[in-house]
Structure 1
Amino acid sequence: MPARQAAEDRISFCFSLRTVVLNGVLCYNILMKILGMEKLSLVDFDNHISATVFTGGCNFRCPYCHNAPLVLDPAGQGALSEGEIFDYLKKRKGVLQGVAITGGEPTLMPDLKDFILKVREIGYEVKLDSNGTRPEILAEFIEEKIVDYIAMDIKNSKKRYAETVDVKNFDLAPVEESVSLLKKGLVPYEFRTTLVKEYITREDIEEIAEWLSGAKRYFLQHFKDSGNCIRNDLHEIDEATAKTFQSIAERKIEYVALRGY
Structure 2
Amino acid sequence: MLIGGLQKTSLLDFPDRISAIVFTAGCNFRCGYCHNPELINSIAPVQDVLEFLQSRTGKLDGVVITGGEPCLQKELPEFIKEVKSLGFAVKLDTNGSLPNMLEKVLPDVDYVAMDIKAPLDKYSLIVNRHVDIEKISQSIDMIMSYGVDYEFRTTVVSSQLGFDDFQKIGLLLNGASRYYLQKFIPAKVLDRTFYDKKTYTNEEFNKIIEMLKQYINEVYLR
With normalisation by structure 2, the TM-score equals 0.95
1:161 Cα offset (Å): 1.0
Tell me the CA shift for residue 83 of structure 1.
2.6
Deviations 1:5-42 (A, max 9, x none): xxxxxxxxxxxxxxxxxxxxxxxxxxx12111110001
Runs of 5+ unmatched residues, structure 1: 1-31
Structure-2 residue corresponding to 1:3: none
Note the residue ranges of structure 2 that are not aligned, 5 or more in a row.
none
- Where 2:22 maps in the other structure, the secondary structure is strand
Distance 1:173 1:90 in 2: 39
Contact residue 111 and residue 148 of structure 2 kept, 8 A: yes
Matches within 5 A, 1:41-60: 41-60=10-29
The answer for the alignment partner of 2:133 in structure 1 is: 172
Question: What TM-score comes out, normalization by structure 1 length?
Answer: 0.81
Distance 1:186 1:138 in 2: 14
Partner of 2:35: 66
- TM-fit CA distance, 1:238: 2.1
Whole-angstrom distance in 2 between the partners of 1:156 and 1:245: 14
Alignment partner, residue 38 of structure 1 = 7
Determine if contact 1:66/1:230 at 8 Å carries over to the other structure.
Answer: no
- Report the 3-state secondary structure (helix = DSSP H, G, I; strand = E; otherwise coil) of the residue aligned with 1:232: helix
Which residue identity lines up with residue 52 of structure 1 in the other structure? I
Following superposition, which runs of at least 4 residues in structure 1 exceed 3 angstroms of deviation? Answer: none
Conservation of the 8 A alpha-carbon contact between 1:68 and 1:230: no
Secondary structure (helix, strand or coil) at the match of 2:219 reads: strand
Q: Aligned-pair RMSD on alpha carbons?
A: 1.3
* 2:180 aligned counterpart, secondary structure: strand
Partner amino acid, structure 2, of 1:132: G
- Correspondence for 1:226: 187
* Other-structure match for 1:96: 60
State which of 184, 203, 212 in structure 2 corresponds to 1:240. Answer: 203
Instruction: Return the letter of the residue paired with 2:88.
Output: Y
Count of matched residue positions in the alignment of Structure 1 and Structure 2: 220
Q: Distance in 1 between matches of 2:84 and 2:191?
A: 34
Q: Which residue of 2 aligns with 1:119?
A: 83
